[in-house]
Amino acid sequence: MDIELAKKVARDAAKKAGELLNNNFQEVKKMSLKGNGDMVTEIDLKAEKIILDLIKSYFSDHAILSEEAGVMGDGASKYRWVIDPIDGTTNYYYGMNPYRVGICLLEDKKPILNVLYNPTKDEIYVAEKGKGAFLNDKKIMVSNNAELKDSVVMFHLSSRKEPRLKTLN
């Protein structure tokens, strides 16, 4: 498995999907619900297709789990891509930030690569197992703060009731 190639493919796919998102931001008119309050737009599907086509062209033997298309490929594969073409579809639909493109690669069900792209700020976060995390190719780290009172804590509440309640409890 060529992790450098996987990283390049994930970055390229996230950026291409992000370009589509930016080009259509505040223009989305059609939306449908796929569950209780869980929406999908035609841009979700187009962004997902961009990502899937690029990954499949390089890693046709890998399994894929994508938010809209579901599970694809061989369940016996050692590698599985996990894709969220628009993390923050509700925000995106209503013309608000933040929204991002998320792509993760698992090996034996454990993450080895994660790419998160914020197209509105052109920020690409890449984390690789054993190598740390980077923002636009610059190494990033958590602070050394040992006290919660000296820290900044941020979180996001899910649009789904059960995970939201777990966060608040």
Q: Are 13 and 50 in contact (CB under 8 A)?
A: yes
Exposed/middle/buried for residue 163 (C-beta within 10 Å: 0-12, 13-18, 19+) = exposed
pLDDT tens-digit readout, 89-145: 888 888 888 899 999 999 999 999 999 999 999 999 999 999 999 999 999 988 888
Q: pLDDT per residue over 6-34, tens digit each? A: 999 999 999 999 999 999 887 766 666 66
Which residues neighbour 20 within 8 Å (Cβ) at sequence distance 6 or greater? Answer: 43, 46, 47, 50
